Chains A and B, each alone.
Chain A
Amino acid sequence: MISLLYLSHRKGVNMGQEVSTEVLEKPISSKNVKKKSKQKYFWQYKYLYLMLLPGLIYFAVFRYAPMYGIQIAFRNYVPFLGMHGSEWVGLEQFRQFFTSPDFGRIMFNTLFISFLSVAVSFPIPVLLAILLNELRHAVYKKLIQTFIYIPHFLSWTIVVGLTHVLFSINGGAVTEILASIFGERVDFLANPNWFRPMIILQQVWKGAGWGTIIFLAALSRVSPEQYEAAIVDGAGRFRRIWHVTLPAIRPTIVIMLILTMGSVLSTGFDQLFLMTNSLNRSVADVFDTYVYQMGITQAAYSYSAAVGLFKSVVGIILIVSTDFIAKKVDPDSGLF
C-alpha cells in the first residue's frame, strides 16, 4: 500500500521530470551532425538563446569583468597604486595565513560552527515549514508565518543585545529561571562551552522563519489530489507528511543544502564578533572575525582576498562533491 502510494505521488511531483527532456526535441546525437544542423539547432531554439542574453551580459559585465581583481590575493595591493602598480608577492599572503600559529584553531572553530549550523540551523526551517503546512486555520498560518520572519530584519546588534538581557549572569531572565530550577548560575555568555549552543540558538531564532519561505513556496505546488489519494489510501498524518509533503520539497532541500555547502567557511561576521569576549575567544575565533582583525591594523585587501579565495576554493570543492553525492542518491536532483 505504502509503496504504491509512494509511487503515485512521486509521479505527481516529478511528473515534469520524466518528460522534461521532450520539451526539447530529442537531443541530437552529436556524432552525425554537420555544421548546418548546428546552425539549425540554434535557430530552432533561438528564443531560448535570446532569453539567455540579458543574463549573459550581466555575468560578463558585473561578475566576470571585475574578476581580474582576484589577483589582489597574489599582490600587496595598495589601492592608490592600482592593480599593476602593486607589488606581486605570489603566495606570500597564503603562506602568512596558513602558517599563522592560530590557523589550526581557527579552521577547527570555523568548521565546528559551520557543521553545527548545517546540522541544526538548516533542517529547522524545513521542519517549521512542514508544521506550518499542517496548520488548519489560514489566519493562524499567515499570522504565525508573518511573525516568525520578523527577526530576519533585526540586526545582529539587536539580537545580541537581547541575548544579553536574557542570558546575562547579572539578572538575565533565563539565567535566573534556570538558576532557580537547578540551583546553579551558568554564565552563558562567558563560558566557552556555551558559546556554540548560544550561536546556534541565535541563528535558529533569527533565521528559521525566513528560511521557511522557500520551502513554503515549494509546498504550494503540491497537488491536493496527492493528499486526497493519500487519505483515500488510509495514510495517517505522519505518513502523509513523509510520503507527500517531504518528497514535494525534497528537490528544494537538496539544492539548498548543496548551495549552503558553498559557504561553509563563511560563518558570518557580525554575530560572532559581537558574541566574542576575552573569556571565550579560544572557541570563538573564526575566519571571518580573524580577517577583520587583521584588517583593523593593516590594509588587508590582499590578505583578506587570499583568505576569501581559499574559502571559495573550499566552497567549490564542497559544492561539487555534495552535488556528486546527491546525484548518486537521486539522479534527478543536484545542480545541473
Chain B
Amino acid sequence: MNSWKKNLTLSASLLSATLLVACGDGGNAEGGSADGESAGIETLNIMAPTFETTAPPSGNEWEEALVEFTDQDVNIDWVPNVNYTDRMNVTLASSNIPHVMVVQGKDPGFLNSAEAGAFWELTDYLDDYENLSQYNEDILLNSSINGQVFGIPRERDIMRSTAMIRRDWLENLGLEVPTSVDELYDVLKAFKNDDPNQSGADDTVGMIIPTWYGSLDTLSVWTGAPNIWGFEDGEIVPTFATEGYIDSLEMVRKMVDEGLINTDFTTLSPDDWDSAMFNGDGGVIIDVYSRAMRINNLFNDENGTESETYVDITGTLTAPDGNEYGQSTDGYSGFLAISKQTVTTEEQLEEVLTFLDKLASTEGANLLNHGIEGVTYDLDEDGYVLPIENDLTPYSLEQLGMYGEVYSMRPEGELAETRYRLMEENEENVVYNAAAPLVSDIYARQGSQLDDIIEDARVRYIAGQISREEFDAEIERWYSSGGQSVIDELTEKYQELMETQE
C-alpha cells in the first residue's frame, strides 16, 4: 500500500507542476501585447521570409535607410524560408504577433486565421492611398480570398512558361525555332530520329520530363485547355474535363510511344533536369524562363564564354486551332497581411498602410529591390541598374516588395532580351486560372488526394500502363470521391464573386 501512496504523492506533485506551467501558459497566449491601445506604433514589427543562406543582421545600413525613408522605426524578423509556415503558425499562437506578416500563400493556416479575424480586410482601404491603389486588378483579385483582400499582393511576372531548346541541335539539323505546338512536335521527332548531336548513334530523345509534371500542364494550356480551372457554360470545369487537355494528353502519349520523351520520365528527379539537357540526353524542356537562363549559364560555364546564347526560347506556342493561349501564373507570390490583434484601431491601420504605401512608390520599391543608390547600386545612362558588390548585397529586402515601378538590370545577352520581349508579347493572350481567387472548403480537405488521382492516372496513361477506358474510370473516381462537390462549391463561389465584382 505504501509504495502505492508514494506513487500517488509523486504523481500529484508532478501533475501540479505540469498544470502550473500549462495554465500560466494558456493565459498569456490569449493576452496579446495590445497594450497602449490607440497609441501610435512606435516600432513596427514585420515578419518576413529570407531565402538567403546568410542571415541579415538587424539594423544594417539597408534597414536604416528604410527607416529613414519611411520615417517609421521598424524591426524585421527574418525567418528562413524553409518551414516559414511553421514559424508563422507558432507566432500566431503566441503573444507576439507582428504588425505586418508576409504570408507566402493561401495556406490553410492563414485561411483559418483570416476567417477567425486575425487580419484586416483591406478591400476598402487600398484606394485611399496614392501608391497602394496602383494594383493590377487581375492580380489583386487572384490574391484575394473569394474576393476579400486580406493582404497586399507581392506582384510577380505573369508569363513565365516557355519551351527551351538546344540551339546547336537545331542548327545541326537546319531547323527553325518552333512557334506552334505542332512545330514543336516535329522538332522533337527530328531530335529523336535525325541524330541531332551527330554522334552516329541513336542516343537522344526530344523532350525531357522529370517527376514534376508542370511541363504537361503548360503543354495542355498551350493546346487550349484551361489553366487548372476554367469556366464554361456557367460552371467551373477542371482542366482534364476539356478537349484541349485530352488532345495534349493523346499527343504526349504518342510522343512517349514514339520514344520522343525520356524513358525514365516516371522517375527522373527534377534535380537532374538541367543536366539531362546539358548532357545531351534530350534537347527540349518546357518550364520557366529562369531555367533556360540557368541551363544557358551551364553552357557558358563549360565553354568559358560570358553571355553567349546556347538555348533558344519560344514563349507561348500557338495551339493547333491557330490561337495562342498563354499559361499564366497567379501573378503574385504571397502577400503582406496586417494583424488585427496588434494593429487595433483604424488610426493604427492608417499608420501601417501609410508605411506600406511609401514602400509601394517607385523610390520605395527600388529601395527594397536594389538598395541604396550609390552604395549598393548605380544607374547607368540608360537608367539600368548596375549593382555594386557590397557587404549588404546578400541582405536583400525585396521580400517586402509589393508592387511599384522598379529599375531593371540591363538584359545581358540575346537570351535575356528575347525573354523580356516574349514575356511582354505573350501577356496579350493570357489564360488565368478561373478559380484563382476562390477557396473551396472541400478542396482544402481532400484536394491533394484528388490531385493525386488525376496525376497518377495521367502518368500511367501516357506511360501506356492503362487504357483510355481505365483513364476515364479514374476521372470518374475523381468526380465521385469529392471532385463533383468541389466543382459545385467553386461554381457557387464563382457566381457570387462575379455578382459582387459587377
Contact = CB atoms under 8 A, between A and B. Distances in A.
- Touching in the complex, A and B, CB below 8 A? yes
Interface of A: 30, 33, 38, 56-57, 59-61, 64-68, 78-85, 101-102, 160-161, 164, 168-170, 187, 189-190, 277-279, 281, 293-294, 296-301
Contacts of A30: 1-3
A83 B25 CA distance: 11
A299 B29 CA distance: 19
Contact of B267 (A38, A66, A187): A187
A67 B267 contact: no
B264 A170 contact: yes
10 contacts: A60-B14, A66-B22, A79-B89, A82-B26, A161-B271, A170-B262, A278-B459, A279-B463, A297-B443, A297-B446
Given A65-B22, A101-B481, A169-B267, 11 more contacts: A59-B14, A64-B15, A67-B22, A68-B26, A81-B116, A161-B272, A164-B269, A189-B266, A277-B267, A278-B460, A298-B108
A82 B30 contact: yes
Contacts of A33: 2
Nearest to A68: B22
Nearest to A278: B459
B29 A82 contact: yes
B447 interface: yes
A289 B449 CA distance: 12
Most buried by B among A102, A278, A279: A278
B460 A60 contact: no
Most buried by B among A80, A85, A294: A80
Contact of A298 (B263, B264, B444, B452): B444
Contact of A170 (B107, B113, B268, B459): B268
A288 to B, nearest CB: 14
Contact of B92 (A56, A67, A80, A161): A80
B2 A293 contact: no
Q: Which label, helix, strand, loop or mixed, suits the secondary structure of the A interface?
A: helix
A278 B116 CA distance: 37
Interface in B1-54: 1-3, 6, 14-15, 17-18, 21-22, 25-26, 29-30
A82 B3 CA distance: 39
Nearest to A57: B17
Counting from the closest, the 6 A-B pairs by CB-CB distance are A278-B459, A79-B93, A65-B21, A299-B108, A189-B267, A170-B264
A68 B19 CA distance: 9
A79 B267 contact: no
B266 A160 contact: no
B211 interface: yes
B57 interface: no
Contacts of A80: 92-93, 112-113, 116, 118
A66 B18 CA distance: 8
B470 to A, nearest CB: 14
A293 B448 contact: yes
A279 B93 CA distance: 40
B21 A61 contact: yes
Nearest to B441: A298
Could you tell me the dominant secondary structure of chain B's interface residues? helix
A18 B67 CA distance: 73
B264 A169 contact: yes
B456 A56 contact: no
A2 to B, nearest CB: 42
Contacts of B272: 161, 164
Contacts of A102: 449
Given A80-B112, A164-B272, A297-B448, A65 B25 contact: yes
Contacts of B281: 170
Given A80-B118, A279-B465, A281-B452, A170 B2 contact: no
Nearest to A292: B448
A102 B481 CA distance: 11
Contacts of A67: 18, 22
A279 B459 contact: yes
A277 B263 contact: no
Nearest to B2: A30
Contacts of A277: 211, 266-267, 459
Contacts of B266: 187, 189-190, 277-279
Contact of A56 (B14, B449, B459): B14
A190 B14 CA distance: 52
B264 A296 contact: no
A88 to B, nearest CB: 15
B90 interface: yes
Given A80-B118, A298-B444, A164 B18 contact: no
A59 B15 CA distance: 11
Interface in B178-222: 211
B455 interface: yes
Contacts of B21: 60-61, 65
A60 B452 contact: no
Interface string B434-467: 0000000001111111001001101110010100
B394 interface: no
Interface in B64-93: 89-90, 92-93
Contacts of B22: 65-68
A78 B463 CA distance: 42
B478 to A, nearest CB: 13
A187 B111 CA distance: 42
B109 interface: yes
B264 A297 contact: no
Given A78-B112, A278-B456, A38 B463 contact: no
Contact of A60 (B1, B17, B89, B211): B17
Contacts of B108: 297-300
Nearest to A83: B26
A57 B30 CA distance: 26
Contacts of B93: 79-80, 82
A299 B89 CA distance: 10
Contacts of B459: 277-279
Contact of A78 (B30, B116, B268, B465): B116
A329 B452 CA distance: 47
Contacts of B2: 30, 33, 38
Contacts of A187: 264, 266-267
A100 B459 CA distance: 24
Contacts of B463: 279
Nearest to B108: A299
A199 B289 CA distance: 35
A83 to B, nearest CB: 6
A33 B1 CA distance: 10
A68 B23 CA distance: 9
B62 to A, nearest CB: 31
Given A65-B25, A68-B26, A281-B456, A169 B263 contact: yes
Nearest to B29: A82
B267 A190 contact: yes
B445 A298 contact: yes
